Structure 1
Amino acid sequence: MHEGGNGGERRGEAQASPSGADQEYLSLERELTILFRRARANQGEMAREVHPDLESAAYGLLIRLDECGRQRATELAGYIGVGKATMSRQLRALEDLGLVAREPDPADGRAWLVHLTEEGRARVSKVRDARRGRYVSQLAHWDRREVSELARLLGQLNRVMER
């Protein structure tokens, strides 16, 4: 005999919404939506910190180049998920701002490699250091193991979403 209720839901079972989605997934969707909205807003702020004329979308390119070094425009376009024309326009704007430069690809004379200039690297590094400082400040009351676990779980989520 089932105690404590009308016998409909057993303890430990996920509660489904009218759409059939489990409450855990609805909560996940809500929290990710908030996180992504804040991340987009922060990306715009960080882009302006790098350079007042920098488009928000171009900030991700700078981070990718900072982390991975020289890349072909086609690799960057694939990573960011934009077309060649959009990538070309963004890279031209970054070149005009003095944040990136191009050089011939030694492996293929028809292709170009894009890289951060010294100015670009210095500006990106300054903004990233400040952002990390904000994370440290905002999460100072968290146990370092919790921060590590959050990073691990977000990494796992990112890997799943890449597939």
Structure 2
Amino acid sequence: MTTRDVDAMSDTVDEIEQQLLVALRRVRRVAREAAEKVHPGLEAAAYAFLVRLDAIGPSRPSDLAAYFHIGKATAGRQLAALEQLGLVTRQPDPEDGRAHLLDLTPDGRRRLSACRADRHRTLRERLSGWSEDDLTVLAGLLIRLNNDDTEQSLPGR
């Protein structure tokens, strides 16, 4: 690479970092708003647990903590709050009597579904001017970015 190529790449990487930081701030705001829609006072971090449980079903708290790359104590605090709000329930793990599985309650599933439907409607409206090709490219690039092994070094991580 020439010095000019390195400079151009550096400028592009700077722009990517700036845009990721803007996106991160927006995602945090949207997560706060979504959590509030699910249940007043629900923390944004806890909302992600609801989405994950909806996607994969009953799960051990330790598996959820590992998925989100957070400590068990942090996960435990968020999950306890979800239990207290009646959004998740804890049951013994049939494969290991010492462990528990968490899953959405019917009320938790209903509230999450309503919130997600509202968020999807808003996103569809916001992206209505984009072509199907642009949406496909964006989705593919986001998948690629999120599957990249270097995700730990992204801004905000």
Gaps of 5+ in 1: 1-8
Corresponding residue of 2:80? 92
CA positional deviation for 1:148: 1.4
Give the distance between the partners of 1:162 and 1:123, measured in 2 at CA.
30
Give per-residue Cα distances to partners, 1:46-94, cap 9 Å, x unaligned.
0000000211110111111111111100011111222111211111110
Give the distance between the partners of 1:14 and 1:68, measured in 2 at CA.
44
Give the distance between the partners of 2:76 and 2:108, measured in 1 at CA.
18
Give the distance between the partners of 2:17 and 2:120, measured in 1 at CA.
25
Corresponding residue of 1:62? 50
Q: Report sequence identity in percent.
A: 43
Q: Indicate if the aligned counterparts of 1:14 and 1:24 stay in contact, CA closer than 8 A.
A: no
1:53 counterpart = 2:41: yes
Corresponding residue of 1:5? none
Corresponding residue of 1:16? 7
CA positional deviation for 1:162: 5.0
Corresponding residue of 2:155? none
Structure 2 counterpart of 1:128, from 116, 121, 124 = 116
Corresponding residue of 1:3? none
Give the distance between the partners of 1:162 and 1:36, measured in 2 at CA.
13
Task: Mark the structure with the bigger radius of gyration.
Answer: 1
> Structure 1 pair 143/46, CA: closer, same or farther in 2 (3 Å)?
same
Corresponding residue of 2:105? 117
Give the distance between the partners of 2:137 and 2:49, measured in 1 at CA.
27
CA positional deviation for 1:23: 1.3
Task: Give the structure-1-normalised TM-score.
Answer: 0.86
Give per-residue Cα distances to partners, 1:4-25, cap 9 Å, x unaligned.
xxxxx89xx53617xxx61111
More helix by share: 2
Matches within 5 A, 1:142-157: 142-157=130-145
Give the distance between the partners of 2:126 and 2:151, measured in 1 at CA.
28
Corresponding residue of 1:6? none
1:28 counterpart = 2:16: yes
Give the distance between the partners of 2:19 and 2:84, measured in 1 at CA.
38
1:82 counterpart = 2:70: yes
Alignment length (residue pairs): 150
Q: Per chain length, whose mean CA-contact separation is higher, i.e. which structure has more relative contact order (CA < 8 Å, sep 6+)?
A: 2
1:42 counterpart = 2:30: yes
Amino acid across the alignment from 1:125: S
